Amino acid sequence: MTKLKTLLLLVLAGFILVACGSDEEAVEAEVVDPRADVKAAVAELVVADAEVDSNTADCVANTMSENLDDDEWALLTLLVQAENDGNFDPVEEFLLENGRLDVGAIDIALEKANVACGTDLD
């Protein structure tokens, strides 16, 4: 009788575990790219300035995003805004506040994008 109770408890526990388990297909986490807006703006600038197709411009934006840390990406964001607005004061303020920032990293990321995407942007 004890073995029967144990067996029934194990079967019941198994049903509970299966019923409460997560279904990976039903529960998909939505991945949101925090850099998506700036990537789109960078791609638009590349299309406008270099006259390349949108796929190549997206490749450039994604490659640059992969090769820049958060501070460098923030600087690129400000540079894109300054290009659109014509106001470079926020860029100067950012550089003064973050004096340790290597501004050459953006040039390096652009060179990597040129290689990865088959472009010649300068």
What's the pLDDT score for residue 64?
94
Q: What is the pLDDT of residues 66-121, one digit of tens each?
A: 999 999 999 999 988 998 899 999 989 998 888 777 778 999 999 999 999 999 88
Can you give the three-state secondary structure of the chain, one letter per residue? CHHHHHHHHHHHHHHHHHHHCCCCCCCCCCCCCCCHHHHHHHHHHHHHHHCCCHHHHHHHHHHHHHHCCHHHHHHHHHHHHHHHHCCCHHHHHHHHHCCCCCCHHHHHHHHHHHHHHCCCCC
In this prediction, residues 43-49 reach a mean pLDDT of: 88
Give 118's contacts (C-beta < 8 A, 6+ positions apart).
56
% of the chain beyond a pLDDT of 90: 44
What's the pLDDT score for residue 67?
95
Total-model pTM:
0.70
Give 75's contacts (C-beta < 8 A, 6+ positions apart).
91, 94, 95, 98, 101, 103, 106
